Homo-oligomer: A and B are copies of this chain.
Amino acid sequence: MAELSAESGVPVATVKYYLREGLLPPGERTSPNQARYSAAHVQRLRLIKALTEVGGMSLASVGAVLEAIDGDKTPHRTMGVVQEELAGTPPQVSEEAAQWAWELLDGIVRRNGWGELKRKHVGVVNLVAALATAKELGHEKLAERLEEYAHLALRVAELDVDTVTGLTSFDKIIEAGLVVTVLGDRIFAGLRHLGQELLSREVLGDVPD
């Protein structure tokens, strides 16, 4: 147990809590007060740490995601669960703003032949809510170039899918899909912020630090 904690960087009390909550499978009992843990336990602990600390996910969401990973869903459906847990509860928005956002998004998807948008899909619901929130704030101008953002997002998604499907082991593919989605969002947001800083310094002007 002490070794497991040291290897994974997760405190012993937290490891015990994860065991009780079923987030971590029990070790192989070798004596009444000793158990043997494997490399898979260390990896699982690191994954929980990444999802909570970098991904900002709640333990309930982490539990749902791990259950999906351990189950027999297709990679595509497993990723659906991940996206659902990441999306959280959408904010309340007015009917009018939601309708505006829906039409905007649906128009882009149709014009580009990206298939059919499912109105009740959790990702779509959250995207519509975020756009509607911008409108309610009087910042609908920010959505004017949504189509350009969508094209760039599709290219990012292409890189994601290329990277993950390029892996050879099936287990790795599912876990990598999870990592690329959760950590990938954070990493991309970080790169975007660096870019904003670089460009806004040029455009808006500032005394260099």
Contacts and interface: CB of A to CB of B under 8 A. Distances in A.
Nearest to A194: B123
A59 interface: no
Interface in A99-118: 114-115, 117-118
A200 B76 contact: yes
Interface in A150-172: 150, 152-167
Q: Within the oligomer, what is the number of copies of this chain?
A: 2
A108 B144 CA distance: 31
A130 B179 contact: no
Interface string A185-209: 1111111111111111101111001
A88 to B, nearest CB: 7
Nearest to A88: B56
A186 to B, nearest CB: 5
A148 B201 CA distance: 23
Nearest to A126: B190
A36 interface: no
A185 B180 contact: no
A9 interface: yes
A83 B186 CA distance: 12
Contacts of A1: none
Interface residues of A, number: 93
A75 B130 contact: no
Contacts of A198: 114-115, 154, 157
Contacts of A158: 195, 199
A4 interface: no
A21 B150 CA distance: 38
A104 to B, nearest CB: 11
A80 interface: yes
B186 A149 contact: no
B159 A145 contact: yes
Interface in A64-82: 74-77, 79-80
Q: Enumerate the 7 nearest inter-chain pairs by beta-carbon distance, A residue then B residue, closest first.
A: A157-B195, A153-B191, A53-B91, A127-B190, A76-B206, A154-B195, A161-B199
